[in-house]
Amino acid sequence: MLEYILIFLSAAVPWFEIAFVIPLGILSGLNPILVIFVAFIGNMTTIIALIIGYDKFKGWLAKRSKKKESTRQARAHTLWDRYGLPGMVLLGPILIGSHIAAFIGMTLGATKRSTFVWSSFSIGAWSLAIGILTAFGFNFFNK
């Protein structure tokens, strides 16, 4: 049980993300289905908190916006210009992080609802893809 709590907490941390946590959990010998589910819930928990608390972050961002844009933020702006919210949050977990993708999307005008829907779909799809590929790849190399 402790391992799954660690999976949940690690997936909730913005820099660990599901792309790191799911393979680590599966390769540690944990149940792949539970790892995928727990990591998804952990990641979505902080995404939901971010969406709900966005208005408070907006004030903080206004003060911070005078600073130079980071490399991750520059990538996020490029994704937004090319693909909009769906593209950014679909590619976010791999390229810039799901939390950053959701946050930047909202700062660029996406609604809370559309950010939630697209983030849920993206994190769910990536969780399944990463989990399945890791489980099958691990089983393939174990034989």
pLDDT tens readout for residues 98-125: 988 898 888 888 899 999 999 999 999 9
Is a pLDDT exceeding 60 seen at residue 65?
yes
Q: Is-contact 91 104, C-beta < 8 A?
A: no
Distance CA 42, CA 90 (A): 18
Q: Is-contact 20 134, C-beta < 8 A?
A: no
Give mean pLDDT, residues 57-74: 71
Provide the token pair at 23.
């393979």
Question: What pLDDT, on a 0 to 100 scale, did the predictor assign at position 138?
Answer: 67
Question: What pLDDT, on a 0 to 100 scale, did the predictor assign at position 115?
Answer: 94
Q: How far is CA 117 from the centre of its chain?
A: 13
Sign of CA dihedral 14, 130, 33, 125: positive
Sign of CA dihedral 50, 51, 56, 62: positive
- Residue 10: Cβ-neighbour burial (10 angstroms; 0-12, 13-18, 19+): buried
Question: What is the reported pTM?
Answer: 0.79
Domain of 135 in residue numbering reads as 2-142
Question: What pLDDT, on a 0 to 100 scale, did the predictor assign at position 109?
Answer: 84
Rg (the chain; Cα; Å): 16
Structural domains of the chain, count: 1
The string of pLDDT tens digits covering residues 1-30 is 899 999 999 999 887 889 889 999 999 999
